[in-house]
Structure formats: structure tokens, C-alpha cells
Amino acid sequence: MGQLHILLIAGGPPGEHEVSLSSAQGVLAAMPHPTELAVIAKDGLWLLGEDAHEALLAGVAEHGTHRFPPDLPWQRYDVAFPLLHGPVGEDGVIQGFLQLLGLPYVGAGVASSALCMDKDLCKRVLQQAGIPVVPWVTFYRGEPASEPPFSPPYFVKPANTGSSVGISKVKADQDASKALAQAFAWDHKVLAEQGIEGVRELEVALLGNIHAEASVVGEITYQAEFYDYETKYTPGKAQLHLPAAIASELSEKIRATAVAAYRILGVRGMARVDFFLSGKGELYLNEFNTIPGFTPTSMYPKLWQASGLSYPDLLDRLVRLALED
């Protein structure tokens, strides 16, 4: 099979809009197949053609010009590549639309996208399957929030955002009300997660459909209070150590756990899986990201490059996995 015609969809609602456009810049530069770009502006309208590329150069699109669904020659594309982080992109919404069109697309399907996007539901499924997750409690907007059953520090986060959007760390001398209000500004459901003492943050990238491959394990270190939005996307704020300085047995355990969770959650195409390792040596699966970042600082492509798979070859594999599935 020769060259494929790809439709790259980027942008999306506020929150992770700029991250998506930054990811799209990297993918467009490295994609080994002819690719057209569509950008969803922050107001929900679409930009096509030169307007989309101008938005990409600007790094943001506040307003679009085309209503949904946009007038695109959908039948001309072999594969769609939704590179939308957060709501609309990772929660099954765009996947359902592409499925109705009968257009193959990169990444997880409707059900697994929605499941992995909702941190509360994802944790419940993984916990039931015997995979250790960070202890948490769930709060709902409009209901009184009780004190979590674990001591500070703990983290408060929206259930359905990524890129560390809306996350706060609550310390022993702080009231959680401000953190809860910040998280509820993004979602109707909020999690409080126990802080892990002496934590090390480890990540692995997955690639494949039913039978996924795992990359080498990497470790992230940084000086910030936690791995927040600024630290994640500002060059030089965080360091990725490849491979992580951990025992080979632990590396294999992390890779095997990630692959098992991938299958349990029904993910296909790709995922980045984040783990916590406590100072006592306890391993927790923290989060599952079905549309990981492809920005200059993003870990997913770097993990594969460290595993011997170049950026263009990774993109080629992803679009061919979409057709295979």
C-alpha cells in the first residue's frame, strides 16, 4: 500500500486548544503521507484550507467560519487523524462522527475513548480488574463535598480534562474549597486523589490494536510543585530520562501492566500510560491518555524514538493501524 490521504483535525474547545495546535504542527511536519488540515475554533466552528493553516501558525483560533459538519470531501480521505486533546476529541464525540461517516480514524474507538477520558470511570474499571490505582474520592457539582478519607497533600482535578487543566494541590494548611471551585469550572464531576509520598513519575507509550507494543519506560523529573500545565508544555521545565533508571524487572512490570490495561479498556491505535512509583516501591497506574501530545516537549513520540521508532515511522504505523482495524 502506497501513500494515503490523511485529514488531520486539530484545535477544539478552550483548555487544550493551543496544545492541540502545537501537536498538529509537529505531525504535519513529519507525516509521510499527503495531509490536509481542519481546525476547530474555540467557538466550535471549523476552519478549512488556508484559514486552518493560518490558525496553525498563530497557535490559536478563537472563531471559525464553517458550521458542523463542514463541507469537506470526506470520501477523498483514507484516514482521519483526530488530534484533539480533551472534550470533543478524547471523549468519543469526534470518533462517533467519523464512525458514522465510515471513515477510518487513528486512535481509540467511541466507548474506550469515553471510558479513558473519565478518570473516575477508568479508575473503577482498572481497580475491578486488579490493577492498582491511586486512592480517590469523587465529588459532584451542587452536592456538599466532604473531607477526603486521606490526609493532605492530595490533588483535586476535573474528571474529564487532560494536560493538567484545572488541577490543584491541596496541602495540610489549605482549604480545599478553592481547588474544588477551580476543578468544577471545567467539569460537573471532580476527583480528589491521595498524594503519594516520595513519588516518581514513570511513563510508557503503547502502539497497536488488540496486540499492543510497549516502548521503553521513561521518567519525568521537574522542579515545580507538581507536573502542571506550564511545566508540561514549557521547554526545559521538565526533563525526560530515557530509559528510566529503574530495575529491569520493574520496567517489565510497568510495560506488562500498561499492555494489560490497554486490552481491558479496549483501546486501539495508541496511548500513553502514566504510572506513579511511591517511595515504598508501590506502583500505581495514574492515567490513560488515548490522544497523547505530539508537541516538541511531548513524551509519546520521544518514548518511541528512544525505542528505535522515528517520528515519521510512528505516524505511518498509526495511520496503517487505523486501516487495519
Instruction: Say whether the peptide bond before residue 243 is cis (omega within 30 degrees of 0).
Output: yes
End-to-end CA distance of the chain, in Å? 15
Residue 222 bears catalytic tag: no
Residue 254: in which H helix or E strand, if any?
A: helix 248-264
- The catalytic position among 274, 284, 307, 316 is 274
CA distance linking residue 48 with residue 74, whole number of Å: 13
CA 197 – CA 284 distance, rounded (Å):
12
> How would you class 114 by CB atoms within 10 Å of its CB: exposed for 0-12, middle for 13-18, buried for 19 or more?
buried
Return d(Cα 263, Cα 52) in angstroms, integer: 36
| Omega within 30 of 0 (cis) for the link into 73 | no
Question: Is there a catalytic annotation at residue 286?
Answer: no
Q: Which of 16, 78, 91, 118 is catalytic?
A: 16
Q: Is 227 a catalytic residue?
A: no
The answer to whether residue 274 is catalytic is yes
Give the whole-angstrom CA distance, residue 77 versus residue 25.
Answer: 20
Q: 269 catalytic, yes or no?
A: no
Choosing from 293, 307, 311, 316, the catalytic residue is 293
- What is the Cα gyration radius of the chain? 19
Would residue 166 be called left, alpha or beta, if left means φ above 0 and alpha means ψ between -120 and 50 degrees?
A: left
| Identified catalytic residue from 272, 284, 298, 307 | 272
* β partners of residue 203: 218, 274
Task: Please say if 90 is a catalytic residue.
Answer: no
> β-strand 269-277 against 238-241: which pairing, if any?
unpaired
* Selected catalytic residue, list 168, 287, 298, 317: 287
Give the cell for residue 318.
498509526
Q: What angle do CA 268, 274, 279 make, to 5 degrees?
A: 150
36 is catalytic: no
Q: Which three cell numbers stand for residue 219?
A: 521518567
User: Does 233 qualify as catalytic in the annotation?
Assistant: yes
- Which of 22, 113, 163, 307 does the annotation list as catalytic? 163
Among 44, 45, 41, 31, smallest CA distance to 11 is for 41
Catalytic residues, by residue number, are 16, 163, 233, 272, 274, 287, 289, 293
